[in-house]
Structure 1
Amino acid sequence: MKAHQKMLVDILFGTVAGLVAHAVAGDSAWLTSVVTNFTQPVGRIFIRLLLMLVVPLLFAALVMGVCELDLKQIGRLGLKTVVYTVVFSSLAVLLGLLLVNTLQPGAGFSEEARAAAKNNPAAMKAAPAPSSTSPAALIVNMVPDNPIRTAADGDMIGLILFSLIFGTGLALTQTPAALRLRETIQGLYDVMMRLIDGVLKLAPYGVAALLFSVMAQLGVEVLQQILSYVAVVLLALGLHMFGVYSLSVRFLGGRSPVSFFRDIRLAMATAFSTASSSATLPTALKVAEENLRLPRHVSRFVLTAGAAMNQNGTALFEGVTVLFLAQVYGVPLSLGDQAVIMFICVLAGIGTAGVPAGSLPVVLMILGMFKIPTEGIGLILGVDRFLDMCRTTLNVTGDLAAALYVARGEPDDDAPLEGAAEPSAS
């Protein structure tokens, strides 16, 4: 059985087993003991293992992503890539916010469901809320005065900015010591990816335990409410992938959307299986060069940057989750507040680590900023792994659509140089 198939089986098993246990045992002492002493600890350990790796992996991934870019090409290719990323990330978040405001998936949550979330926290504190959420204050707070404290406080935006600045400085410094430092950070990235692979082997059991815990405590009621949240996320992801990106491929890339999705199906399947844009990068490069036949220098530039910076699905998910939890707890958010959330999600989507659970610290940070109870994250932990697989598929699709757009009008790597002499006929 493949990894994603095993994941889906265990999601169903945890859900059904929890519902059966709730129906049979209700609030019995033995079921409470099983949840408290076994399934909740298993689920918490899995989440804590993932969150433990996010900060060092995010730092290493962003630094190496910047270092591996060809700085000579950034002027020509970088502007198109950055503009495309910002525009389509904004569209993704806006689409998600519109659907949440329209469909109201978080409305009607019972006090019992809210209380149960406190028993299943993400075990990671949110960043301290800034004194002001005005645009000027947010821009100032993006710049960390102490990157180590920033990482410890869970301020992912500050850590992202520091990582990008550090990576730029490292790329521009060509001394022997700087090159050795680059090798060291590459080693850190390799170790973190190996650890992520190990943790993901526990994912089916961790997710099944999380779902069992929630369903055994609350039964069908909370399942219906969580499924409404899942449905909104999947609807938003689907509309963006097959609607927005189809239009992009047709009008900006000059290709047929049907042939595009057919050509990239291997990369989409890999993204869904691994829930990691970084782990899918080798497959995406292969698909871009062999199936889409994009110039090698374009595909390597755009896809390498995109694996760390073009996270449309992640940005969309973060926006939907924050508004959903605000609805659950009855926290009113004005249009101005939602505009600020959109801005943060777009920025975080550009810098969130392309690894499983990389968006959870950012969601916690935003919840803390707007005084939304952070323990609410416990309501979505059981389904986050599945949604992570889905949003990673959108992320990788967006990377390839961006590469298609940037490649349009670029010379092919194998094309003869202008003015080169034609070979003489013999």
Structure 2
Amino acid sequence: MHTAPEPKKPGLPLHIKVLLGFVLGTVVGLVVHATAADAVWVQSLTEYLTRPFGQIFLNLLFMLVVPLMFSALVLGVGELGDIASLGRLGWKTLIYTAVVTAAAVLIGLVCVNLFQPGTHMDASLVERAMSNAKTGEIISKGNELRLMDLLVNIVPHNIVGAMGDDSKKLGIVFFALMIGIGLVMKPTPATHAFKNALQGLFEICMHLIGLFIRLAPYAVAAFMFNLTSQLGWDVIQSLLWFVVTVLLALAIHGFVVLPLWVKFMGGMGPREFFRGTQEASLTAFATASSTATLPVTLRVAEENLKLPRKVSRFVLTVGASANHHGTALFEGITVLFLAQVYGLHLGLPQQLMVLVLCILGGIGTAGIPSGSLPVIAMICGIIGIKPEGIGIVLGVNTFLDMCRTSLNVTGDLATAVVVSNRSGVADEDVPEVPDTAGH
């Protein structure tokens, strides 16, 4: 007599595994830094194992970003059904993004004026940071950036070139919008077949991402080990006022502004929102890239938050390239922080100019790790601050980049909730989402 096999016990949720990987990597890294920071085996471990593994994980995600971004946005526009719906959705997304990003930058400016982190810097640390070799590379990139170039590059002259340039991802968004509009304007059997092909591409990308993302806990452990084993707490302690200012501003925006925004404009309870978005937020923290997190963001929007995919695909795909609340906030704080380090007083008109530049710079920032640093160099040049000062924050940038990217993704999802609620799309319009995790 055969007995029925016992049902397989469900394992730990992915976000719990990611959190465990984060804690384990941090603790081991701190222990190694305290006991054997300069050991040859530590350098070999980092160079030949943890850093390559983390980079391969990111490359697996980046490999699928362009086809996923293109197919998701074209399908999102195509499913709107008419140009008028696209216009309404586009304007709502743009206005809501600008309002919340402006609130984020304003919070950052208030915090940096209150805490004055630049006045607590050690002069010797400033000198050492200014001589950092990596600073010159960032400054040169910043000098190449121009606000008008950011606007002009939204319309790509070579879509293949835009696909290979992280700073021109908005060009892919524009191209996908044009293809989507053409799809809506020309409903023929051929365009319908093209739409079905794109749906297949989208589902393939989501399925592969579901497989790759299972490596996230191990990649997070590798990232945190690399960070803490090399830097420990020394660099963070020397820049404590700056770090605290940034983290407090991010926390106010993430845990006060966004919950109120979601509740009163999106009609969703904050607890439900955070419970549904935690996997995407942790993945964003791990990868420090809103672009690489896009597949997870799309999935949690449809599966956890139950947002209409015709809205979520549009808002989130655009948001991964142009809706960077945390990045804009960080840029504003860093610019004023450097002004304080140099003893330069910026009055209200100059700070309002910084606010506007950070909103525009947030749109033009590449959704990759440390993508905001060249933009900060550009803003510093416009304001009249020595951009070499960016070297001061390089030591803590990796950790803060992870924090602000997590806020970027959470902000994207909050905007998607608000736009979905304000667009009047009923829940029954949401189709069944296929299983993308391979279960």
Q: Say if 2:33 is the partner of 1:13.
A: no
Q: Say if 2:248 is the partner of 1:235.
A: yes
CA separation in 1, counterparts of 2:191 and 2:157? 23
Alpha carbons of 1:177 and 1:153: their partners in 2 closer, same or farther (altered >3 Å)? same
Counting only pairs closer than 5 Å after superposition, residues 10-49 of structure 1 correspond to structure 2 as 10-49=21-60
**Offset of 1:361 from its aligned partner?**
8.1
3-state secondary structure, aligned to 1:35: helix
Of the candidates 143, 147, 152, which is equivalent to residue 164 of structure 2? Answer: 152
Q: Say if 2:410 is the partner of 1:398.
A: no
Counterpart amino acid of residue 410 in structure 2 = T
CA separation in 1, counterparts of 2:129 and 2:357? 28
Per-residue CA shift, 1:78-118, capped at 9, x if unaligned?
54454333322332344345545765778666787899996
Q: Say if 2:71 is the partner of 1:60.
A: yes
Alpha carbons of 1:68 and 1:113: their partners in 2 closer, same or farther (altered >3 Å)? farther
Alpha carbons of 1:301 and 1:38: their partners in 2 closer, same or farther (altered >3 Å)? closer
Alpha carbons of 1:30 and 1:139: their partners in 2 closer, same or farther (altered >3 Å)? closer
Per-residue CA shift, 1:395-422, capped at 9, x if unaligned?
3233223434454xx99999xxxxxxxx
CA separation in 2, counterparts of 1:170 and 1:270? 33
- Segments of structure 2 that go 5 or more residues without pairing to the other structure are 1-11, 285-295, 382-386, 430-439
Q: TM-score, normalised by structure 1?
A: 0.70
3-state secondary structure, aligned to 1:201: helix
**Offset of 1:221 from its aligned partner?**
0.9
Alpha carbons of 1:228 and 1:45: their partners in 2 closer, same or farther (altered >3 Å)? farther
In structure 2, the partner of 1:143 is 155
CA separation in 2, counterparts of 1:312 and 1:102? 31
CA separation in 2, counterparts of 1:230 and 1:192? 37
Counting only pairs closer than 5 Å after superposition, residues 228-377 of structure 1 correspond to structure 2 as 232=245, 234-245=247-258, 248=261, 260-264=269-273, 266-269=275-278, 271-272=280-281, 276-283=296-303, 286=306, 302-310=311-319, 315-322=324-331, 336=353, 339-346=356-363, 358-360=367-369, 363=372, 366=375
CA contact (8 A) 1:306 1:399 kept: yes
**Offset of 1:16 from its aligned partner?**
1.6
Counterpart amino acid of residue 299 in structure 2 = A
Of the candidates 96, 104, 111, which is equivalent to residue 84 of structure 1? Answer: 96
CA separation in 1, counterparts of 2:310 and 2:374? 30
Per-residue CA shift, 1:151-172, capped at 9, x if unaligned?
2232223232222222222332
Alpha carbons of 1:218 and 1:172: their partners in 2 closer, same or farther (altered >3 Å)? same
- Segments of structure 1 that go 5 or more residues without pairing to the other structure are 119-124, 289-298, 353-357, 415-426
CA separation in 1, counterparts of 2:23 and 2:412? 25
CA contact (8 A) 2:298 2:316 kept: yes
CA separation in 2, counterparts of 1:177 and 1:412? 30
CA contact (8 A) 1:65 1:308 kept: no
**Offset of 1:381 from its aligned partner?**
4.7
In structure 2, the partner of 1:184 is 197
Per-residue CA shift, 1:300-348, capped at 9, x if unaligned?
6544433334569951222245467776898999755663332131466
In structure 1, the partner of 2:175 is 162
CA separation in 1, counterparts of 2:244 and 2:232? 19
RMSD between aligned alpha carbons? 4.5
**Offset of 1:20 from its aligned partner?**
1.2
CA separation in 2, counterparts of 1:214 and 1:412? 43
**Offset of 1:12 from its aligned partner?**
1.8
In structure 1, the partner of 2:7 is none
Of the candidates 201, 208, 212, which is equivalent to residue 221 of structure 2? Answer: 208
Counterpart amino acid of residue 145 in structure 1 = H
**Offset of 1:379 from its aligned partner?**
5.6
CA separation in 2, counterparts of 1:91 and 1:177? 45
Counterpart amino acid of residue 16 in structure 2 = Q
Q: TM-score, normalised by structure 2?
A: 0.68
CA contact (8 A) 2:330 2:404 kept: no
Counterpart amino acid of residue 72 in structure 2 = A
Aligned residues: 384
Alpha carbons of 1:97 and 1:138: their partners in 2 closer, same or farther (altered >3 Å)? farther
Counterpart amino acid of residue 344 in structure 1 = G
Counterpart amino acid of residue 306 in structure 1 = V
3-state secondary structure, aligned to 1:142: coil
CA separation in 1, counterparts of 2:111 and 2:322? 15
The alignment-based identity, stated in percent, is 33
